Structure 1
Amino acid sequence: MGSGSEQNRRPLRVDAERNRRRIIAAARELFADRGLDVSLDDVAEHAGVGVGTVYRRFANRDELIAGVLVEHLHEVVDHARAARDNPDPWSGVVEMVDGVVGSMAADRGLRAVITRSDHEQPEIAALKTDLGEQAWAVFDRAVAAGVLRPDLAASDMFAIVAMLTAVAEVTESAVPGTWRRYRELLLDSIRTEPVRSELTVAALTEDQMNIAHRDTLEAVRRAFSTKD
């Protein structure tokens, strides 16, 4: 049995981790709704914790923004590892793309977080390196298995993910999941054998396009109005 002091510290570590997760979750929600121009006091109130609890973990807003990016990168790396371990090479490619793009689509504040963060920060840089290694392993295995075009470069996959992420940012508020329609179209084009997948998501209507356009303009205005 451990000492009394060890037993007393253990619940504190659990509480600290629970509070960290609550703070990060609150920050992600506020960044998505209001942009990055929120105070740590706002985050504390939204998370239901004391202001001092937030400041003990994050000295300022930039540290909190970096913390949100670190959390996101951990999630995406986990998606990429699962895709790498998928026994079917093609399914692994689809799983990797869905994991990366889906996580961006689900969090409207991530674009601003990614832009604002210092990507040379050691933990962020290490996670990005890990993500790249996992993603390239998925890609290389699919090429070796003959399910991807042999003239495809790893950088092409980066461009495809970037395009789908852009589609998600524009359309997610109008019809969530619309980006999957374009994932089906794009991934068909990089397979070795000609394939025409059934499009499982309908194209946007004119009214939905107008909603997407309106919300995109509003998001741009909000981003430019964010104060340092």
Structure 2
Amino acid sequence: MVERLNEQLHLAEEALRNPDRWKGLSGYIMASCALEADSRGYLNLMTTRFDESETLLALRRRIQVHIEELVREARDTAAVRSNFRAEDLVFVFLANSRIAEMTMDVAPKSWRRNVELFLDGIRPERATPLTEPPMKPSQVARAMMRPRLRDPRRTERKGDKVSEA
């Protein structure tokens, strides 16, 4: 896992070196999602909490600092819509993981379409007001700490109790 996070860190550092803020940010998002969708990748890497490992936590913190800088600079130069925040990337990373997982045997590159649609959605040219504010970093952290919701198809009722099937 350290190797995969180091690859993510390298992608973020490379993106920050790109003087074109749109190309830097969009290139990072696409490359990060590609890395995760790769058959040797680790699905949910960018949305997994690593509370048990100080090494992994430190790497994630470094990546997060770079992501926040990438988004801030893209926003400051009007390369992305003014209301786009780093916390919004959670949604593309979560969606990418699920899409890559569900389509890897059928259409292994279909995740790209979702990312391309997302990237179009953060461009400033046609930005429309959003109905919800971005999540706060503390909300993102709390959401990531929640246990996965159980699949209701895997449970059965026994009296008033619900238990694993």
- Which residue of 2 is the match for residue 20 of structure 1? none
- Which residue of 2 is the match for residue 119 of structure 1? 51
User: Residues 112 and 132 (structure 1 numbering): CA distance in 2 closer, same or farther, change over 3 Å?
Assistant: closer
- Which residue of 1 is the match for residue 20 of structure 2? 88
Alpha-carbon separation, structure 1, partners of 2:48 and 2:8: 19
Greater helix percent: which structure?
Answer: 1
Q: How far does residue 112 in structure 1 lie from its aligned partner after superposition?
A: 8.2
User: Residues 114 and 157 (structure 1 numbering): CA distance in 2 closer, same or farther, change over 3 Å?
Assistant: closer
- Which residue of 1 is the match for residue 155 of structure 2? none
CA contact (8 A) 1:108 1:169 kept: no
Match of 1:164 among 79, 96, 103: 96
User: Residues 115 and 107 (structure 1 numbering): CA distance in 2 closer, same or farther, change over 3 Å?
Assistant: farther
- Which residue of 2 is the match for residue 149 of structure 1? 81
Consecutive unaligned residues of structure 2, counting only runs of 5 or more, are 128-165
Alpha-carbon separation, structure 2, partners of 1:126 and 1:80: 15
Alpha-carbon separation, structure 1, partners of 2:23 and 2:108: 22
User: Residues 96 and 116 (structure 1 numbering): CA distance in 2 closer, same or farther, change over 3 Å?
Assistant: closer
User: Residues 114 and 145 (structure 1 numbering): CA distance in 2 closer, same or farther, change over 3 Å?
Assistant: closer
User: Does the residue aligned with 2:108 lie in a helix, a strand or coil?
Assistant: coil
Q: Which has the higher contact order (CA 8 A, sep 6+)?
A: 2
User: Residues 170 and 126 (structure 1 numbering): CA distance in 2 closer, same or farther, change over 3 Å?
Assistant: same
Alpha-carbon separation, structure 2, partners of 1:134 and 1:117: 18
Match of 2:64 among 98, 117, 132: 132
Identity score, percent: 28
Which is higher, the Rg of structure 1 or of structure 2? 1
Greater strand percent: which structure?
Answer: 2
Alpha-carbon separation, structure 2, partners of 1:129 and 1:87: 23
Matches within 5 A, 1:1-12: none
Consecutive unaligned residues of structure 1, counting only runs of 5 or more, are 1-68, 196-228
User: Does the residue aligned with 1:176 lie in a helix, a strand or coil?
Assistant: coil
Q: How far does residue 114 in structure 1 lie from its aligned partner after superposition?
A: 8.6
The amino acid of 1:174's aligned partner reads V
Runs (4+) of structure 1 exceeding 4 A deviation are 112-118
Matched, 1:180 2:102: no
TM (norm. structure 2) is 0.68
Alpha-carbon separation, structure 2, partners of 1:107 and 1:177: 11
The count of residues paired between Structure 1 and Structure 2 equals 127
Alpha-carbon separation, structure 2, partners of 1:142 and 1:157: 13
TM (norm. structure 1) is 0.50
More displaced stretch, 69-78 vs 112-121: 112-121
Q: What is the root-mean-square deviation of aligned Cα atoms in Å?
A: 2.5
Matches within 5 A, 1:27-46: none
Summarize deviations over 1:45-65 as a string: whole Å, max 9, x none. xxxxxxxxxxxxxxxxxxxxx
Summarize deviations over 1:44-93 as a string: whole Å, max 9, x none. xxxxxxxxxxxxxxxxxxxxxxxxx1111001110111111112111111
Q: How far does residue 127 in structure 1 lie from its aligned partner after superposition?
A: 0.3
CA contact (8 A) 1:147 1:193 kept: no
The amino acid of 1:95's aligned partner reads G
